[in-house]
Amino acid sequence: MTDAIVVKDLKRTFRHYEKKPGLLPTLKSVVWREWNDVDAVDDVSFTIPQGSFVGFLGPNGAGKTTTLKMLSGILTPTSGSCTVLGFNPSDRKRAFKKQIGFVMGQKTQLIWDLPPTDTFVLHRDLYEIPRNQWNDTLGTMTELLRVGHILGTPVRQLSMGERMKCELIASLLHKPKVLFLDEPTIGLDVISQVHLWEFLDTYQVKEKMTVILTSHYVHDIANLCENVIILNQGKKVFDGAFESLVNRLEPERSGIIRFQRERLKTDQTAQIAEMVKNRHLEQIDPLTYRIAVPRKDLSAATQWILKSFPIEELRMEEVDLTEVIEKAFAMESRA
């Protein structure tokens, strides 16, 4: 499979002016200033195959947005290289810009005092989209996102969820091959989030579009993205399948077992007591226990329990994805 994005040793350093409080430091700063260099992105490398849906995770200040801005050509790297669809984003060639889209949750490309349709028409002319294609694409996305009734309403009168749906339409009208999404659901209610993700999931598969998504909603990343890249303090700490991250950081699955009192035999009771003694089971009450087994042994362990004991209830607990991500953020960086 062809790589849509190739990043090698990417670095972006920002220089900040350090000013101390008081009159004397202020006067001194006129002739001499103290500067501090901060590496927002520090020697990051990765590749993203064409047609992938990849999640970018990391705490605030990890370098996610800065990376997306370099991949889209908004920022120029301090060092290292990146190519998107074979282009160097920093060149900002017209052919490159016509093949990417960028949605930022905290910035708008819609014209505030005009209806969304006016922005869509402007994009049609800027991107030189054939009128028939524009009509078909707009009609399809309007139907999928259920926004036909608001296209004539001034943007300033729309809710945040409605505006974000229109932002997405504006970024997709020219059918980009790569879409960058930076916190697109920030501030949205649950229903608006679901509508947005359902649309993206359907549209990405249909168009075979490459999508990079940054979000603090872990469950959205887990449901949409097959692979994730985790950044922390500008460095990459993980790059791979989300499932492998969970298996790595949560190697065991926990579950609750409740035995049937009236059908328990003496030897089975003794066997349960032995498992508690060996810490294979943790007692919650006289008939209820918690079990933790390695993921690879889960199927065999549950089958053995069901065959060996009278069970009233056997329930596996869901993995806390928030805890998994917190552990991932604490991982040491690697190239």
Give 88 or 144, the one with higher predicted confidence.
88
Taking only the tens place, the pLDDT of each residue in 77-136 is 999 999 999 999 999 999 999 999 999 988 899 999 999 999 999 999 999 999 999 999
DSSP class per residue in 94-135: HHHHTTEEEEETT---S-TTS-HHHHHHHHHHHTT--HHHHH
- The answer as to whether 28 is a domain residue is yes
- Quote the pLDDT of residue 133: 94
Rounded to an integer, what distance in angstroms lies between the CA atom of residue 142 and that of residue 94?
27
- The verdict on residue 129 lying in a domain is yes
Among 193, 220, 247, the domain-final residue is 247
Q: What is the mean pLDDT of residues 273-293?
A: 85
Domain that holds residue 92: 3-247
Q: Tell me, yes or no, whether 177 and 256 share the same domain.
A: no
Kindly state whether residues 219 and 267 are assigned to the same domain: no
Average pLDDT of the residues in 193-197? 87
Q: Are residues 209 and 256 in the same domain?
A: no
Give the domain CATH number at 282.
3.30.70
Instruction: Say whether pLDDT at 156 is over 50.
Output: yes
Of all residues in the chain, the percent with pLDDT exceeding 90 is 55
Q: Domain for residue 328, yes or no?
A: no
Same domain, 287 and 223: no
In a domain, residue 334? The reply is no
- Per-residue model confidence (pLDDT) at position 252: 85
Residue of 279 and 176 predicted with greater confidence: 176
Residues 26 and 116 in one domain: yes
Query: pLDDT of 40-59, one tens digit each?
Result: 999 999 999 999 999 999 99
What's the confidence (pLDDT) of residue 335? 42
Number of neighbouring beta carbons within 10 Å of residue 221: 21
Q: What's the pTM value of the predicted model, to 2 decimals?
A: 0.84
pLDDT confidence tier of residue 261, bands split at 50, 70 and 90: confident
Q: Do residues 303 and 173 both lie within one domain?
A: no
* Segments of the chain assigned E as strands: 3-18, 34-49, 53-57, 79-84, 100-104, 178-182, 210-214, 227-232, 235-241, 252-259, 281-285, 288-294, 311-316
Give yes or no for a contact between 210 and 66, defined as CB atoms under 8 angstroms apart. Answer: no
76: domain CATH number?
3.40.50.300
Low-confidence winner among 44-53, 156-165, 216-225 (lowest mean pLDDT): 216-225
Question: Is residue 26 in a domain?
Answer: yes
226 or 33: whose pLDDT is higher?
A: 226
| Number of domains the chain contains | 2
Residues forming a β-bridge with 54: 212, 227
Under 8 Å between Cβ of 182 and 103: yes
Residues 273 and 223 in one domain: no
Does position 190 have pLDDT exceeding 90, yes or no? no
pLDDT band per the 50, 70, 90 thresholds, residue 268? confident
The structure tokens listed for 47 are 């590749």
Do residues 94 and 206 both lie within one domain? yes
138/189: higher pLDDT: 138
Write the pLDDT tens digit of every residue in 305-335.
899 999 999 888 888 888 888 888 887 655 4
Strands 252-259 and 210-214, bridge-based pairing:
unpaired
Selection from 188-192, 202-206, 275-279 with the highest mean pLDDT:
202-206
Asked if residue 333 is part of any domain, the answer here is no
Q: Are residues 219 and 100 in the same domain?
A: yes
Determine the Cα–Cα distance for residues 311 and 291; give it in Å rounded to an integer: 14
- CA 216, 56, 225, 197 dihedral sign is positive
Task: Choose one of 187, 213, 247: the last residue of a domain.
Answer: 247
Structural domain contains residue 332 = no
pLDDT of residue 70: 98
Task: Note the pLDDT of residue 333.
Answer: 55
Q: What is the pLDDT of residues 234-260, one digit of tens each?
A: 999 999 999 899 888 888 888 899 999
Pairing of strands 252-259, 288-294: antiparallel
Q: In which element (H, E) is residue 89 found?
A: none
Of 202, 217, 247, which marks where a domain is finished? Answer: 247
99 and 116 part of one domain: yes
Asked whether 78 and 13 are in contact (CB, 8 A), the reply is: yes
Same domain, 161 and 223: yes
Residue 329 lies in a domain: no
Same-domain status, 126 and 226 = yes
If you average pLDDT over every residue of the chain, what do you get?
90
